[in-house]
Structure 1
Amino acid sequence: MNAILDRRLTPARADLAARHLEGLVEARAFVDPVPMRVAAPSAPVRREPRPDAPLDTEALCGEAVDVYERFEGWAWVQLRSDGYVGYVPDDALRADALVPTHRVSALRSFVYPGPSMKLPPLAALSLGAGVTVTGETGEFATLSEFGRYATGFVFAGHVAPLATPEADFVAVAELFLNVPYLWGGKTSLGLDCSGLTQLALAAAGIVSPRDSDMLERDIGQPVPFDDALRGLQRGDLVFWKGHVGILTDPDTLLHATASSMTVTREPLRTARDRIQARSFGAITGIRRPR
C-alpha cells in the first residue's frame, strides 16, 4: 500500500480495497461501495472488527456510510461526512433508511413511541443525530421511522431543519460543558477534543475533518499569535500536537481534556502552561474557522 495514504481515510487493506483506489494501492480484490445509513442512536467506529478494539470515532443516527464488507456481525465502512474508515456493528446499519430532514439540536433528546413524555422512551439521541420528520403532533415532531420502529416522536423544540444551521458554533460546544471525556467519542455521553470541535462546527454547517491534526491542517485560516496570545477572538481554535480547544472569548478555552476527564472551561494561559509542562507541549497553531 502507498505509505502516504492515511489509514484513517483510506478504505484499503491487503485483501480488499475500494474500487476507486485501483491502481493506487495493492489489494487482492477491489469492490464498489454499498450505501447505507446508521439506524441506531449512534454506532462505534472501531479500528478492528472486535468489540474491545480501539474506538476511533462514532457515527450518529442518520449518518450515511459506504459499506465495503459485511462479515460476522461487522461492517467495514467509510463515513461520508468526514471520510473516516473503520468497523461498525452491522446491526446498526440499514440500506433502506430514509434521508434525514432534521438534526437533534438539544444536547440529548428522547424518542417516544407516541406524542407523550409519559411514555417509556424508545431511545435517546445525541446532538447532531439525523432524523426524518414528517409532521408535528402537538409539541412533538413525528418521525417517519426510527430504527426498527415504524414511527417515533421527539420533542419538536429539540430538532431543527438540516437547512437551518446554528449561528454560533461556540454556543453549541458550550452545551457539552461537564460532559465526560471519552477517547473517540462524539455524543453527549462522552467525547474527545476533536469530536467536540467537529460536532459544534457541523451544527453551524461547517464540514470539518475528525482528528486534531486534520483540523489544524484543513480548517479555516491560520491566526498569527505570540507568547502573549494577543489578537484572538471567540471561535478561534487552539491546537497542540494531538489536542484542540475552542476559545469562548479571547482569554478562555473550552475543551474536552483528559486532565479533568470532562469538557471544561478555563483560562487559556492556564491551559497553555499546564499542557506545555505536562502533556502535548507548546501551542502549534491557531485557526479561525470563518
Structure 2
Amino acid sequence: MSDPRDTPDPDCVITGRDAIVIVPLADLCRSPDGPRDRQLLFGAPVTILNDEDAWFLVRSQQDGYCGYLRGTATGPAEPATHRITSRTTHAYSAPDIKSPDLTCLSFGARLRATSETATFVETRWGFVPRQHLHRADVMASDPAAVAALFDGTPYLWGGNSGNGIDCSGLIQAACLACGIHCPGDSDQQERDLGETLPPDAGLRRNDLLFWKGHVALVTGDDTLIHANAGHMAVVFEGITDAIARIERQGDGQVTSRKRLPSLPPA
C-alpha cells in the first residue's frame, strides 16, 4: 500500500500548479479539516494537486510530503531571495524597529526582496531586519548549531516553527538549513537519512538517535538535543539519561543510530 504522505490517491489529483505559502504558518492536514500532520512556513513552495474545494491537496516541494492546506494559504509561485535564520523575527511596516510589526516569521521562512537597505530587507510583506536572514542560497554547515536555535521552543505535535516544534520538525529544520534533503516524519527520517551505525559505534556531533516515533540529534559528548513531550520543549539532555528516561517511560530502546554526511564549512 502506498503511503499517502508521499503518494495521494491518484483519483484526487487533477492539476499540478506551482504555488507558495503566503501565511506565516500553515497546517498541512491529513484530510480537509482533519488533524495536522506537519506545518509549512511562509514562502514554502508547493505543488497544488487539487484545488476544487476550500482545502487544496498539495505536495510540499521541499520534502514531497502530501496533505491538505486551506486554499487561502497559497499564492502564486515566486523565487525566494532570502530565508529567515533566527528562531523568529518580525516584518515591520517601515524600515524602523519602532514601526508597527505586521507579522511574525519563523526560522526557514522564505522571502523575495524588493529592495534592501543597510539594516533591512524590504519584501511585499514588510521590512525584515538584515540580522535575521541570509541569502536563500547560503547554507549552514552544522545541523546541531541550527537545532540549538530552537532551545526552549515549546513542543508541538506536527510543529515546524519557532513557535512550536516536534522531534522530526527540529531535525528537518536543522537538515534543510544545511542543504540536506530530509523527510518530514521520524519514521521517514530513520529510513532515508544518513548511514546506519552499528550499536556499539561511538557517537559524534550530528549523529541521529531514533526510537519508535522519536528522533534526537547528538550535539557532543553524551549530549543530545530533541523536542520531546516529556519536557514539552526543545531541550539539551544527556544521552545516557535520555535513553534511560525514554525506556523507563515505556517508549522502548533506541532502534537505530544514523550518521549524516559531512558538510563543508559554511
> Normalising by structure 2, what TM-score?
0.94
Q: Give 3-state SS (helix, strand or coil) of 1:9's partner.
A: coil
How far off is 1:138 after superposition? Answer: 3.3
Are 2:31 and 1:48 aligned? yes
The structure 1 residue matched to 2:217, chosen from 246, 249, 263, is 246
How far off is 1:11 after superposition? Answer: 2.1
Are 2:146 and 1:169 aligned? no
Q: Where does residue 280 of structure 1 map in the other structure?
A: 251
The structure 2 residue matched to 1:270, chosen from 225, 233, 241, is 241
Q: Where does residue 189 of structure 2 map in the other structure?
A: 215
Q: Write the letter of the residue equivalent to 2:43.
A: G
Are 2:155 and 1:181 aligned? yes
Q: Give 3-state SS (helix, strand or coil) of 1:195's partner.
A: helix
CA contact (8 A) 1:237 1:244 kept: yes
Q: Greater shift after overlay, 72-81 or 194-203?
A: 72-81
Q: Where does residue 66 of structure 1 map in the other structure?
A: 47
RMSD: 1.3
Q: Where does residue 237 of structure 1 map in the other structure?
A: 208
Cα deviation, 1:217-259, whole Å, max 9, x if unaligned, reads 1111112223xxx511010010011100001103111100001
How far off is 1:72 after superposition? Answer: 4.2
Q: Greater shift after overlay, 34-43 or 190-199?
A: 34-43
Cα deviation, 1:42-86, whole Å, max 9, x if unaligned, reads 211011211xx2110001111111112224421111111111111
Higher relative contact order (CA 8 A, sep 6+): 2
How far off is 1:205 after superposition? Answer: 1.1
Are 2:131 and 1:157 aligned? yes
Q: Where does residue 256 of structure 1 map in the other structure?
A: 227
Cα deviation, 1:144-189, whole Å, max 9, x if unaligned, reads x22xxxxx21001111112110121111100111111000000011
Q: Give 3-state SS (helix, strand or coil) of 2:242's partner.
A: helix
Q: Write the letter of the residue equivalent to 2:170.
A: L
CA contact (8 A) 2:151 2:236 kept: yes
Q: Give 3-state SS (helix, strand or coil) of 2:181's partner.
A: coil
Are 2:91 and 1:111 aligned? yes
Output aligned runs, 1:16-165, within 5 Å. 16-18=11-13, 31-50=14-33, 53-95=34-76, 97-143=77-123, 145-146=124-125, 152-165=126-139
Q: Give 3-state SS (helix, strand or coil) of 1:209's partner.
A: coil
Aligned length: 261
The whole-number CA distance in structure 1 between the counterparts of 2:250 and 2:163 is 25
Q: Write the letter of the residue equivalent to 2:142.
A: D
Q: Where does residue 10 of structure 1 map in the other structure?
A: 7
Q: Write the letter of the residue equivalent to 1:173.
A: A
How far off is 1:17 after superposition? Answer: 3.4
How far off is 1:198 after superposition? Answer: 0.2
Q: Where does residue 192 of structure 1 map in the other structure?
A: 166
Q: Which has the larger radius of gyration?
A: 1
CA contact (8 A) 2:12 2:50 kept: no
Q: Where does residue 264 of structure 2 map in the other structure?
A: none
For structure 1, the residue ranges without an aligned partner over 5 or more in a row are 19-30, 147-151
For structure 2, the residue ranges without an aligned partner over 5 or more in a row are 262-266
Q: Give 3-state SS (helix, strand or coil) of 2:51's partner.
A: strand
CA contact (8 A) 1:75 1:87 kept: yes
The whole-number CA distance in structure 2 between the counterparts of 1:223 and 1:276 is 20
The whole-number CA distance in structure 1 between the counterparts of 2:148 and 2:118 is 29
Q: Give 3-state SS (helix, strand or coil) of 2:101's partner.
A: coil
The whole-number CA distance in structure 2 between the counterparts of 1:117 and 1:36 is 31
Identity of aligned residues (%): 39
The whole-number CA distance in structure 1 between the counterparts of 2:28 and 2:54 is 13
